[in-house]
């Protein structure tokens, strides 16, 4: 029988044996992380049933780390969640934030794309062929990677998430983010036909010196 008070689990980041995963039971993101014992040098993995969203998880992690530099990668986003991230900036919970969003975002939700550009500035946004949903948070000794099936919107469905305070894994994700930002200039990802983005992605994936498709064994990372 599943323990109804067991909302998530955590383990030390690295090569330790993984533990069993449990579903949440009407809990907030903060209580979920506290309840599973997540903290410095640890990882946690769990499911939720729509009780909280990606922005709630980011908020909860910031309660642990304090003010942080951030990166958010999402396929789509909602106005309320974008404004909430901006509120993190205004309240100095996030010191800065970079965005990677799918190139289709501008056509699918032009009003959201306009808001994203107005609030965060083209220098902090790249649009790419991406379906990756993750967030990075860096503060003091914290190097947090948050991966999830959730986009930056409300998710009334079963979703999963995984997060770890892991400098090596953080460096891998940061390397990809830096590569994307170096490859595409500020503002260049908006106002162009999908074919341009597709050709850009092809150049990105095969560019000389790119490590985007390099594979590493799980043992090398974990």
Distance from C-alpha of 132 to C-alpha of 42, rounded to nearest angstrom: 22
Closest by Cα among 59, 76, 138, 146 to 110: 76
Q: In what order do the strands lie in the sheet with 68-74?
A: 9-12, 42-48, 159-165, 142-148, 134-139, 68-74, 94-102, 125-128
Whether 218 shows a pLDDT value over 70: the answer reads: no
Whether 31 shows a pLDDT value over 60: the answer reads: yes
Mean pLDDT score of the chain, rounded to an integer? 81
Rg (CA), the chain: 18
Position 110 confidence tier, pLDDT thresholds 50, 70, 90: confident
Whether 219 shows a pLDDT value over 80: the answer reads: no
pTM here is 0.80
* Confidence (pLDDT) at 15: 55
CATH superfamily of the 9-207 domain: Endonuclease Chain A (3.30.870.10)
* Confidence (pLDDT) at 59: 93
Kindly list the domain boundaries of the chain, sorted by start residue. Answer: 9-207
Among all chains, which residue has been given the structure tokens 């949440």? 24
**Per-residue pLDDT tens over the stretch 159-214:** 889 999 999 999 999 999 999 999 988 988 888 777 777 788 878 865 444 555 55
The torsion angles phi and psi of 164, rounded to 5 degrees, stand at -150, 145
């Amino acid at each position: 029988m599943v323990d109804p008070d067991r909302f998530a689990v955590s383990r030390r980041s690295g090569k330790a044996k993984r533990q069993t995963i449990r579903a949440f039971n009407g809990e907030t993101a903060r209580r979920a992380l506290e309840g599973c014992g997540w903290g410095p040098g640890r990882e946690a993995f769990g499911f939720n049933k729509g009780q909280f969203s990606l922005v709630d998880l980011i908020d909860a992690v910031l309660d642990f780390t304090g003010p942080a530099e951030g990166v958010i990668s999402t396929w789509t986003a909602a106005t309320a969640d974008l404004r909430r991230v901006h509120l993190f900036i205004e309240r100095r919970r996030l010191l800065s934030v970079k965005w990677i969003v799918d190139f289709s975002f501008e056509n699918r939700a032009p009003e959201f794309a306009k808001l994203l550009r107005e609030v965060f500035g083209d220098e902090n946004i790249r649009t790419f062929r991406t379906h990756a949903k993750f967030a990075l948070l860096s503060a003091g000794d914290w190097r947090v990677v948050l991966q999830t099936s959730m986009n930056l919107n409300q998710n009334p469905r079963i979703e999963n998430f995984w997060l770890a305070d892991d400098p090596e894994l953080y460096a891998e994700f940061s390397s990809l983010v830096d590569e994307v930002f170096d490859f595409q200039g500020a503002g260049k990802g908006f106002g162009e036909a999908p074919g341009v983005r597709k050709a850009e992605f092809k150049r990105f994936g095969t560019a000389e010196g790119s490590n985007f498709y390099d594979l590493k064994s799980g043992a090398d990372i974990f």
